[in-house]
Structure 1
Amino acid sequence: MEKRIINNYEEFEALLGQVIGVSDYVQITQEQIDKFADATLDYQWIHTDPERAAKESPFKTTIAHGYLSLSMLTYLWYNVVDVRNVKMIVNYGIESLRFQQPVKVNDKIRATVSLNDIKNLRGIAKIQVKIVVDIEGERKPAYDCLVNFLYHFE
C-alpha cells in the first residue's frame, strides 16, 4: 500500500472523520516474542514455551505479549503515513485501549487508522487517531485504541 503524504496541519485537518489508511500486514514471529520477553523480563510460558503452550494453552500455541502487539503501533502508523515538514513528533498518549483477541505466533496484523480529532495548540498539531489492529483471517480485532500525537510542523 502507498503511504498517505501529509505536509501540514491543513492536510491533516482535511482528513478529520476519515480513514487515513490501512497498513500492510506484518507477521509476529516467535523470535520477536522471545526478544520482547528479554527486553521486558516477561517470560510467562504462554509467550515463550511453544511445547508447553501446545499442550496447556487454550490457543494451542504461543501468543504475543499484549504489549508487544501494542508496541507495533509506531511501525503500523508509519506504514500508513509519511508526515513531512516536521521538526518533532511526540507520542502523547493512548486512550481507550481494549485488547479483544490474542495475537498467536506467526499471525499477521495490520492497522486501520482514522483521524478522530485534531486541535491546533499554539502551532502544534495535536492529533488523535483511532487505530484498529486486526489479525489476518480473524473476525475480531486484536485491539483498538485512540492514540494521540503532537506534531511540531516547521
Structure 2
Amino acid sequence: MSKVVITSFDELEKLTGQELGVSDYHQITQDQINLFADATLDHQWIHVDTEKAVKESPFGNTIAHGYLTLSLMPYLWDQIVEVRNLKMQVNYGIEKFRFNQPVLVNSRVRLVAKVIAASNLRGVTKANIGVKLEIEGNKKPAFEGEIVFLYHFL
C-alpha cells in the first residue's frame, strides 16, 4: 500500500471528499490494554480482569478502552498519509465522534480516512479528516468521527 503524500494546502484541498486510504490491520492484545490501563490509571475490570470479564461481562471477554482505540490514530494515520513540507502539525480537535462498538481483546482493527474539509486560516491549514475504525469481521465500526489537524506548511 502506498501512502498519499501531501505537501501543501492546495494538494490537501484537492482531496476534499475523497477517501485517502485504509491502514493495515492492528491486533489489540491484552498486554496493550493492560499497559494503557497503567498509563491512564483506568483499571476498570471490563478491560483488565480477564477471568471476571469472561464470566460476567456482556461482551464475553475483556475489551479495549475506547480511548485506547482512539490513541491508535497517529500510528494508523501514518500508514495512510505522509504530510511533507511541514514546520509543525498540531492535533486541534475531535468532532462528531462516537464509539459505536466495543473492541474485544485480540480483535484486529484498521483505520479508514477521508478528507472532509480543508481551510486556510491565515496561512495555517485546518484539515477535517473523517475517520472510521473498522473491526475485522464486524459490520459496525468501533468508532466514527472527524479528527481536526492544523498543518503549518513551510
Extract unaligned runs of 5+ from structure 2. none
In the alignment, the residues of structure 2 paired with residue 14 and residue 96 of structure 1 have an alpha-carbon distance, to the nearest angstrom, of 23
Runs (4 or more) in structure 1 with deviation over 6 Å come to none
Please give the residue correspondences for 1:42-53 in structure 2 after superposition, counting only pairs within 5 Å. 42-53=42-53
Q: 1:151 deviation in Å?
A: 0.3
State the TM-score, normalized to the length of structure 1: 0.98
State the TM-score, normalized to the length of structure 2: 0.98
The one-letter code of the counterpart of 1:7 is T
2:135 maps to 1:135? yes
Extract unaligned runs of 5+ from structure 1. none
- 1:76-97 per-residue CA deviation (whole Å, 9 max, x = no partner) reads 1111100000000000000111
Does the residue aligned with 1:111 lie in a helix, a strand or coil?
A: strand
In the alignment, the residues of structure 1 paired with residue 24 and residue 114 of structure 2 have an alpha-carbon distance, to the nearest angstrom, of 15
- 1:19-56 per-residue CA deviation (whole Å, 9 max, x = no partner) reads 01111111111011000100111111110011111111
Q: 1:2 deviation in Å?
A: 1.6
Q: 1:7 deviation in Å?
A: 1.4
My pick for the range that moved more, 143-152 or 69-78, is: 69-78
In the alignment, the residues of structure 1 paired with residue 12 and residue 28 of structure 2 have an alpha-carbon distance, to the nearest angstrom, of 30
Alpha-carbon RMSD: 0.7
Partner residue, 1:150: 150
In the alignment, the residues of structure 1 paired with residue 107 and residue 78 of structure 2 have an alpha-carbon distance, to the nearest angstrom, of 20
Identity in percent: 56
